[in-house]
Amino acid sequence: MTATAAPTKTILRALAGEVQAVPPVWMMRQAGRYLPEYRATRAQAGDFLSLCYNPELAAEVTLQPIRRYGFDASILFADILLLPQALGADLWFVTGEGPRLSTLSDAEGVAALKPTEAIHETLSPVYETVKILARELPREVTLIGFAGAPWTVATYMIAGRGTPDQGPAHAMKAAEPEAFDALMARLTEATTEYLSAQVEAGAEVVKIFDSWAGSLKGADFTRYALEPAQQIIAALKARLPDLPIIAFPRQAGDQYIGFARATGADCVAIDNSVDADWAAKHVQVDGCVQGNLAPHHLVEGGPALVAETKRIVKAFSKGPHIFNLGHGITPEADPENVHRMLEAIRG
């Protein structure tokens, strides 16, 4: 998209600030275990990481929900922990429990990480997946690349796994502040390069997932959630001025207010812990908002799914909006409920 050309894809139009009668829609984790075709492809790959690093199969699972539902955007199938693996962390997945990483807790561990320029060797299959998708997606579908935000990725690198309160990362931040800041700086730099490479391969939009931003309070939120996002976005915009960027500081609460303005993000994705009417009043005033149906509605279905979907569409109808969930769709979701959601949005 040139500086003078108006975007034509519905997602890009929303990100450019256009108010549309019917909001564009996609879902976080739309390629996933709720779909039988995904489960079959994952079995073919052998395991989750093998699927992430197999460009043909990763592209296939990315395309599956587009074929089934006709979403307005497709998001690259990968995982936020591929980046720390590319920086030298050991990464594996335990069935039924999730990811595990080798842990990092001090300056020595940070110093042992690979240089940023080395990440592309490990991540080259991801870029190949993006290239395949850029060729094979329907012309009207926007391709979204993504990465985890530095704080969220750091919490996994420090704890070696997901934790309820991100306690190990908070502990390192307090006990080893210089080492923690060095880790955040490395992740900020590497995330910028990773996203830039995805765009070079064909991604049209990128999204920064700060899944654990909600555990940062006050000045810590500013320093470790807002400022890294600001730095990544500024660096990307300096190289790629027309690149739309979505930021997702999940469970930020009142700190969603002004986040787009402070970071330079074109859109703020919101979780379902905040009300759509509140977000329309306080967050959408700065531009596009993405969200925020609670994922449990796609498990339970029924009239409540339709009513809540329509309520969210109405709440955001006076400003630019991308319909999405407040978090990723869960494995228990009924695929037929996704059709019902789309019917409620599109009529």
In 3D, which of 313, 323, 252 has the Cα closest to residue 283? 252
Quick count: other Cβ atoms within 10 Å of Cβ 131?
Answer: 16
**Is 239 considered catalytic here?**
no
DSSP element (H, E) containing 278: helix 276-282
Choose the catalytic residue: 42, 100, 223, 311.
42
One-letter identity of residue 327 = H
Angle at 78 between CA 287 and CA 32, to 5 degrees: 90
**Is 67 considered catalytic here?**
no
Q: Provide CB contacts within 8 A for 257, sequence distance 6+.
A: 282, 283
d(CA 188, CA 101): 19
**Is 250 considered catalytic here?**
no
**Is 286 considered catalytic here?**
no
Secondary structure of residue 74 in the 3-state scheme = strand
**Is 194 considered catalytic here?**
no
d(CA 320, CA 300): 28
Q: Provide CB contacts within 8 A for 87, sequence distance 6+.
A: 113, 114, 116, 118, 119, 186, 190
* Total residues belonging to the chain: 347
Choose the catalytic residue: 39, 68, 79, 181.
79
Choose the catalytic residue: 13, 29, 186, 340.
29
Choose the catalytic residue: 34, 69, 156, 194.
156
Catalytically active residues are 29, 33, 42, 79, 156
